[in-house]
């Protein structure tokens, strides 16, 4: 997922720099990819840990 986002961002940078017409579109795509990557790699696992931590404490330990 990271390599796909990075290659897409690298491919869009020349278009964002050179074309005044496509600059807003490419900036939205670039920042959308950055935020979606950060969301899926950091926020989702953190929320999972926060939401499932209490459930694991309630289960009995089997020896």
Q: Is the residue at 59 inside a domain?
A: no
40: DSSP letter = I
Domain count, the chain: 1
Higher pLDDT, 1 or 40: 40
Let me know if 12 is exposed, middle or buried by CB neighbors in 10 A (0-12, 13-18, 19+): middle
Summarize pLDDT for 33-58 with one digit per residue, the tens.
999 999 999 999 999 999 987 755 56
Q: Is the residue at 43 inside a domain?
A: yes
Summarize pLDDT for 11-27 with one digit per residue, the tens.
999 999 999 999 999 99
pLDDT band at residue 1 using 50, 70 and 90 as cut-offs: confident
The reported pLDDT for the residue numbered 59 is 65
Q: Is the residue at 22 inside a domain?
A: yes
Closest CA to 14 of 31, 30, 34: 30
pLDDT band at residue 6 using 50, 70 and 90 as cut-offs: very high
Q: Is the residue at 60 inside a domain?
A: no
3-state helix, strand, coil in the chain (%, to 5): 85, 0, 15
Q: Is the residue at 24 inside a domain?
A: yes
């Amino acid at each position: 997922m990271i390599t796909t986002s990075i290659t897409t961002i690298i491919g869009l940078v020349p278009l964002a720099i050179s074309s005044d017409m496509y600059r807003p579109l490419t900036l939205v795509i670039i920042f959308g990819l950055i935020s979606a990557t950060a969301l899926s790699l950091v926020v989702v696992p953190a929320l999972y840990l926060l939401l499932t931590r209490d459930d694991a404490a309630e289960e009995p330990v089997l020896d």
